[in-house]
Amino acid sequence: MTRPSPHRVSISSRITSRTEAGDPLSIALAPPPNESQDQRARRKALEAEAKRVSDEIDRQIDADAANLKRRRNTTKVLLLGQSESGKSTTLKNMQLTCAPKKWAAERGAWRVVIQLNLVRSVNVILDELGRHTELATRLSPLREVQKDLERRLGASAIEERFVPGLSPVNEDRDKRSSADRRRTECAVRSSEGWKAAVFKIRPSTATSRQSISLEEDETTRVIASCREEIHALWQDKAVKDAVWNRKVNLVDSAEFFLNHVHRVSRRDYVPSDDDIVRARLRTVGVQEHRINFEASLDSGRDLLVFDVGGSRTSRAAWPAYFDDVHAIIFLAPINCFDEKLAEDPRVNRLEDSFLLWKSVCANKLLSSAQLILFLNKMDLLDQKLKAGVKVKHYLTSFADRSNDRATVSKYLKNKFMDICRQESPSPRTPQVHLTSVVDTITTAHTLGYVQDSILKTHLRRVNLL
pTM of the model: 0.75
Tell me if 154 is assigned to some domain: yes
One domain, residues 388 and 452 = yes
pLDDT at 205: 39
Residues 78 and 62 in one domain: no
Considering the domain boundaries, does residue 287 fall inside one?
no
Q: Give 107's contacts (C-beta < 8 A, 6+ positions apart).
A: 270, 271, 276
The confidence score (pLDDT) of residue 453 equals 87
Q: What is the pLDDT of residue 252?
A: 81
Question: Domain range for residue 268?
Answer: 109-282
Is 288 within the bounds of a domain? no
283 among annotated binding-site residues: yes
- Give how far Cα 42 sits from Cα of 37, 38, 39, 54, 291, Å: 9, 6, 5, 18, 53
Check: CB of residue 123 under 8 Å from CB of residue 258: no
CA distances from 152 to 6, 111, 117, 272 (A): 75, 12, 14, 21
Does residue 252 have a known ligand-binding role?
yes
Is residue 266 located within the same domain as residue 326? no
Query: Is 94 a known ligand-binding residue?
Result: no
Structural contact between residues 182 and 162, judged by C-beta atoms closer than 8 angstroms:
yes
Residues 219 and 303 in one domain: no
Residue 379 is assigned to a ligand binding site:
yes
Does residue 253 share a domain with residue 307?
Answer: no
* Residues 301, 156 share a domain: no
Q: Are residues 309 and 244 in the same domain?
A: no
253 is in an annotated binding site: yes
In the chain (465 residues long), the average pLDDT of successive 10-residue segments reads 47 46 63 81 85 82 60 82 92 93 92 95 87 83 92 62 38 37 62 70 38 66 95 91 79 91 94 95 81 72 83 74 86 95 90 95 90 97 96 95 97 98 93 96 93 78 55
Same domain for 255 and 140: yes
- Residue at 35 is within a domain: no
Please indicate if the annotation marks 402 as binding a ligand. Answer: no
Beta strands in 45-107 (DSSP E): 74-80
Please tell me the distance from the alpha carbon of residue 359 to that of residue 330, in angstroms, as a whole number: 12
Residue 378, annotated as binding a ligand? yes
